[in-house]
Amino acid sequence: MGITKTKDQQRFQEMQLMIPKSDAKMYMSFIYVAFAALLIGGLMGLLQTLVRSGKFTLPFGIGYYQILTVHGVMLGLILTTYFIIGFQYALMGKTVGISQKQKKAAWASFWVMVTGTLLTSGTILLGKASVLYTFYAPLQAHPAFYFGLALLVIGSWISCFVNWRQLYVWKKKHPGEKSPLPAFMVVINMTMWFIATLGVASTVVIQFIPWSLGYAATIDVLISRTLFWYFGHPLVYFWLLPAYMAWYVIIPKIIGGKIFSDSLARMAFILFLFFSIPVGFHHQLTEPGISPTWKFVQVCLTFMVVIPSLMTAFSMFAVFEITGRKKGFKGLFGWFKHLPWKDVRFLAPFIGMVAFIPGGAGGIINASHQMNEVVHNTIWVTGHFHLTVATTVILTFFGISYWLIPHLTGRKLTPQINRLGIIQTIIWTVGMTIMSGSMHIEGLLGAPRRSAFSTYGGTAQAHEWAYYQLAQAVGGSILFIGIVLMVYIFIKLAFFAPRGNEAFPIAEEDANAQPTPMFLENWKLWVVITVALILVAYTIPFVDMIQHAPPGSPPFTMPIGNN
């Protein structure tokens, strides 16, 4: 049974209530940490491109792998997780509300995560954990690094429980009604995150911590990598889904349209829950110890996870076209003209969408088993994730920041800040096009990823790659200017912009929209299917890995001061 229109409209009005100051403070705390991580991680990114160009040597004995680890952890793990959790709390607070008790628990999640972050970053900065953001065994870090990671995950689990509880309490108060779309999406993302992080938590607690403390002399590398990638691929969708939340729910409002299809959006998110997790082997296609049959099964499942992204692309084109035509724009592409190009809240996420066309195509190439042989472990993969997470996702997060931060701090996005935002978006687009484009080409020429200049600087190929590495240094420097500008905009929006009320733009459904089928909220069924798919994809190969385990590996530490 679907929901009546009057109730829908009434709920929509409730959503427009202002967020209380104390709630806003909690949401903003996550966002402050995210932007601090952006600045630190971005600076490390700049240093990396300079070192790889062979024209710059790190001072004070700082190692290449040390800055690479800071870069990956700060941007890939800290910036994303904090921004996402802060944004999701805001969406939940706005649509289903947050009680005092839930807020206390949310603060607990924040402080546990901060404690973990300080431990992890401290060990990396002291040079005791140059293990990159994937911390592959047998690279070994100081135990504090792993304890920090475990706390980060535990803190995020508290957020999962808070978000689930928020929706549960709301549903109790609104029997028979469908949940607000943003809340539904947040709960899917956190359910996926919880199931996925069980993998990384197990390897950290069962394998890495005892090994780093010296209780175990060796570690089973294949098992640790498998548990990592069981988590690692859903991790990328944990980054992507909040961007999709903004595309489905926020962007239509900003362009003056309606949600294209509430049911389609929910279905896409359910498909992400099903297919994000049982696909980790596509990161391990070149690894021995996993049978080709199981790699093939997971490659097929990877192609399933492409479908909800194609549904999203379809949905976005439909929103743009329908809104344009309603405004009277005619012709095949006339609707394109109505888009609010001068509104940075739209422009930044839109460029993110455009970047996802080549970014997604690159992902499909990576997933195609034979083609993966060409690109695996080359800097092509780095190019791929700079298009996906560092452009599609991050530009959307910036787009969200332009309205979310002033909304939470009681300020206004002024025309001047909007203009700066447009400049920032252009700088980012130019910098990333140069950097990611040259990474893709250099990868096709065989250049390795994650390699210090000292490992390939003297080789014959290094000459062939030099041009692209220079281009990456140029792109990286432009991007760093973009980061500094974004941090400036953030500080302005958080502390100095004029006081006012910035809208929290949540789109409505069309008055004539078909009711959303209630079976889409059958949470138990979705979780059972997800677990069943995971068991199908992982049980036999995992048992194989344990039964045929080779002797474990002793620890290995990256050389310090290796440029």
What's the closest the beta carbon of residue 81 comes to ligand HAS, in angstroms?
A: 13
Binder among 71, 225, 283, 492 for ligand HAS (CB under 6 A): 283
Q: Does 66 bind ligand HAS (CB under 6 A)?
A: no
User: Given candidates 376, 433, 481, 544, which one binds ligand HAS under the rule CB under 6 A?
Assistant: 376
Smallest Cα–Cα separation from 178: which of 274, 266, 237, 301? 266
Name which position in 3, 108, 267, 354 contacts ligand HAS (CB under 6 A): 354
- Which residue from 87, 47, 95 is spatially nearest to 398, judged by alpha carbons? 87
174 part of the active site: no
Q: Give the Cα separation of 129 and 121 in Å (integer).
A: 9
397 by Cβ neighbours in 10 Å (0-12 / 13-18 / 19+) ranks as buried
Q: How far apart are CA 337 and CA 352, in angstroms?
A: 18
Q: Which of residues 418-457 bind ligand HAS (CB under 6 A)?
A: none
240-279 residues in contact with ligand HAS (CB under 6 A) are 240
The interface region with ligand HAS, picked from 54-62, 299-307, 436-444, 477-485 by CB under 6 A, is 299-307
Shortest distance, position 78 Cβ to ligand HAS, whole Å: 15
Where does this chain touch ligand HAS (CB under 6 A) — which range of 151-159, 171-179, 262-270, 377-385? 377-385
- Rg of the chain on CA atoms, in Å: 23
Contact pick of 118, 213, 310, 543 for ligand HAS (by CB under 6 A): 310
Any idea what DSSP says for residue 337? G
110 makes contact with ligand HAS (CB under 6 A): no
Determine the size of the site formed for ligand HAS (CB under 6 A): 32
Set 52, 386, 407, 411: catalytic member: 386
The answer to whether 165 is a known catalytic residue is no
- Judged on CB neighbours under 10 Å (0-12, 13-18, 19+), 368 is middle
450: annotated active-site residue = yes
Burial of 306 (C-beta count, 10 Å sphere; 0-12/13-18/19+):
middle
Of residues 214-243, those binding ligand HAS (CB under 6 A)? 236, 239-240
3-state secondary structure labels for all residues of 195-215: HHHHHHHHHHHHHHHHHHCCC
Q: Could you say whether residue 316 binds ligand HAS (CB under 6 A)?
A: yes
The nearest distance, CB 341 to ligand HAS, in angstroms, is 11
Structural tokens at position 289: 């110890």
For ligand HAS, which is the closer residue by CB, 163 or 309? Answer: 309
Q: How many whole angstroms separate alpha carbon 337 and alpha carbon 314? A: 19
Binding status of residue 488 toward ligand HAS by CB under 6 A: no
CA 516/CA 186 separation, integer angstroms: 18
Is 449 marked active-site? yes
| Adjacent-strand bridge partners of 219 | 553
Rule CB under 6 A: say whether 309 interacts with ligand HAS.
yes
Which residue, 42, 144, 66, is CA-closest to 480?
42
Active site residue 384: yes
Q: Kindly tell me which residue out of 356, 465, 468, 523 binds ligand HAS, with binding defined by CB under 6 A.
A: 356
Q: Which stretch binds ligand HAS (CB under 6 A): 26-34, 38-46, 383-391, 401-409?
A: 383-391
| Site for ligand HAS contains 393 (CB under 6 A) | yes
Cα 290 to Cα 545: distance, rounded to the nearest angstrom:
7
The answer to whether 134 contacts ligand HAS (rule: CB under 6 A) is yes
The yes or no reply on residue 80 touching ligand HAS (CB under 6 A) is: no
Q: What does the alpha-carbon distance between residue 225 and residue 169 come to, in Å, rounded to a whole number?
A: 38
Among 69, 123, 226, 366, binds ligand HAS (CB under 6 A): 366
End-to-end CA distance of the chain: 63
378: β partners:
448
Distance CA 506, CA 253 (A): 6
Which residue is catalytic, options 356, 385, 402, 468? 385
Contact 24, 87 (CB under 8 A): no
Closest contact distance (angstroms) between CB of 17 and ligand HAS is 31
Q: Looking at the annotation, which residues are catalytic? A: 233, 237, 384-386, 449-450
Interface residue list for ligand HAS (CB under 6 A): 134, 236, 239-240, 282-283, 302, 305-306, 309-310, 312-313, 316-317, 353-354, 356-357, 360, 363-364, 366-367, 372, 376, 381, 384-385, 388-389, 393
